[in-house]
Amino acid sequence: MPIPWNKGKKYPQVTGSKNPKWKGDKVGYSGIHKWVYNHFLKPNKCEHCGRNPGFSKNGTTLLQWANKSGKYLRKLSDWLCLCISCHALKDNYNQGEKHFHKLTEKQVLKIHKFYKTGKHSQRQLAKKFNVTHTTIGRIIRKQIWTHI
């Protein structure tokens, strides 16, 4: 095996956050995402809510590929094409699909309804709907499920 030219060497100008091409610690993550974007054809609607979120102002689609298993396999079956709202929701529960499917649109509407009555705290709602307090907060602030 030939020894790689850079073995054991560290070049401060090309590593770390000083490098203009530095992408943070998620290099692997964005790498596979790029691959997915190049290899899979995007459906025209969100595979979770069935909505077509359309395009952003700069013309990019608002559908994003989300990984199902957390293993980032190069297989279409390991990916879901989601709108930004559903993707945010899923990332909040990256533990798995089980949680992801827990909330339905109806439930989210209920959360808003309950919260508006002033009788339920966010924490109580979290318990009631078996989601995290953070999720309830995000729903109420319309950071996720924005189309409801």
Interacting residues toward Zn ion by CB under 5 A: 46, 48-49, 83, 86
DSSP state letters, 31-86: HHHHHHHHHSPPPSS-TTT-----B-TTS-BSEEEEESSSS--SSGGGEEEEEHHH
Per-residue DSSP letter, 19: S
How many other C-beta atoms lie within 10 A of the C-beta of residue 103? Answer: 21
CB of 131 to Zn ion, least distance (A): 17
Of residues 22 and 37, the one with the C-beta less far from Zn ion: 37
CB of 87 to Zn ion, least distance (A): 8
Question: How far is it, in rounded angstroms, from Cα 106 to Cα 58?
Answer: 32
CB of 38 to Zn ion, least distance (A): 23
Of residues 84 and 128, the one with the C-beta less far from Zn ion: 84
Locus of tokens 């395009």: 55
CB of 132 to Zn ion, least distance (A): 19
Of residues 81 and 126, the one with the C-beta less far from Zn ion: 81
Of residues 83 and 125, the one with the C-beta less far from Zn ion: 83
